[in-house]
Amino acid sequence: MALGQPWKQVGWLNGLPGPLSRFPCWAGPLHCQAVPAVSLQSVLRKPEVLSPAGEWDCAKAAVENGADAIFFGVGRFNARVRAHNFEEADLPSLMAYLHGRGVKGYVTFNTLIFPEELAEATRVLRTIIASGVDAAIVQDAGICRLIRRISPDFPIHASTQMTVTSAAGVDYAKELGASLAVLGREVSIPEMEKLQVEQGAKGAPLDLEVFVHGALCVAYSGQCLTSESLGGRSANRGECAQACRLP
């Protein structure tokens, strides 16, 4: 999973077996670098803390409170199209603000894209790359391949919407050109440890990221069709109606 500076230690994961009983619990998303096949207890390092930020006030608050990186949507190709998002014109000044403070910025490009949208998606991706964004968080396998055609080395992060829950899923993300995979939110801590050890044993491990704070989906990440079937609002198009929360 990727490691940077901690945000805020809020407690310990008590009551868990073995070395996990001494894992610190952090308030905020984090990711850590995969490590050689040894116990996580002996390689625990400080995590990079990510914070969501839909507009300038949120971005500044995240930076001022110690976030190592923020993630945000631009336009309509993200999973929060009804929320506040940055515009393409904001990217140069936003990235200058972040980089001037030692903070990274990742764009969420985490929806499924239709063929008729590829030309627009290509244009937006070129703008993202040219603006100095540090990585794109991607769901669509086709978009991963498109990014690699545009740029051979622009960092790709496989989104939690890609349903990466196993070693095979991590390997597939790597085949698509990803440098990091965000594990499905339903993956347990023991399963994370197993994946970490398996990745470390391969010699060229992929960085892993996990959510440690925020809402959970009732379904597997990226696999829920409830909102689409009930009201025509697809969760994989950024329009989830969160029907599972209705009384």
CA angle 186, 190, 192 (to 5 degrees): 65
The predicted-structure confidence for 80-96, as pLDDT tens digits, reads as follows 666 678 889 999 999 99
| Average pLDDT score, the chain | 78
Best CA proximity match to 139, nearest among 91, 185, 87, 79: 79
> Does residue 151 carry a pLDDT above 90?
yes
- pLDDT of res. 125: 96
Band the pLDDT of 235: cuts 50, 70, 90.
Answer: low
pTM: 0.75
Band the pLDDT of 5: cuts 50, 70, 90.
Answer: very low
Best CA proximity match to 90, nearest among 78, 68, 73, 115: 73
> Strands 180-182 and 156-158, how do they pair?
parallel
- pLDDT of res. 141: 93
- pLDDT of res. 197: 87
The predicted-structure confidence for 211-228, as pLDDT tens digits, reads as follows 887 766 777 676 666 655
- Identify the three-state secondary structure at position 137: strand
Ordered alpha helix ranges (H), 117-237:
118-130, 141-150, 167-175, 189-201, 226-231
Which domains are delineated in the chain?
A: 9-214 (3.20.20), 217-247 (no CATH)
- pLDDT of res. 143: 94
Matching residue, tokens 């990440």: 221
Best CA proximity match to 47, nearest among 20, 66, 71: 66
1 CB-near residues (< 8 Å, 6+ apart): 30, 31, 32, 33, 34, 47, 192, 196, 207, 208, 209, 210
Q: What average pLDDT score do residues 186-209 get? A: 86
Range scoring the smallest mean pLDDT among 51-55, 138-142, 225-229 = 225-229
Separation of alpha carbons 152 and 155, rounded Å: 9
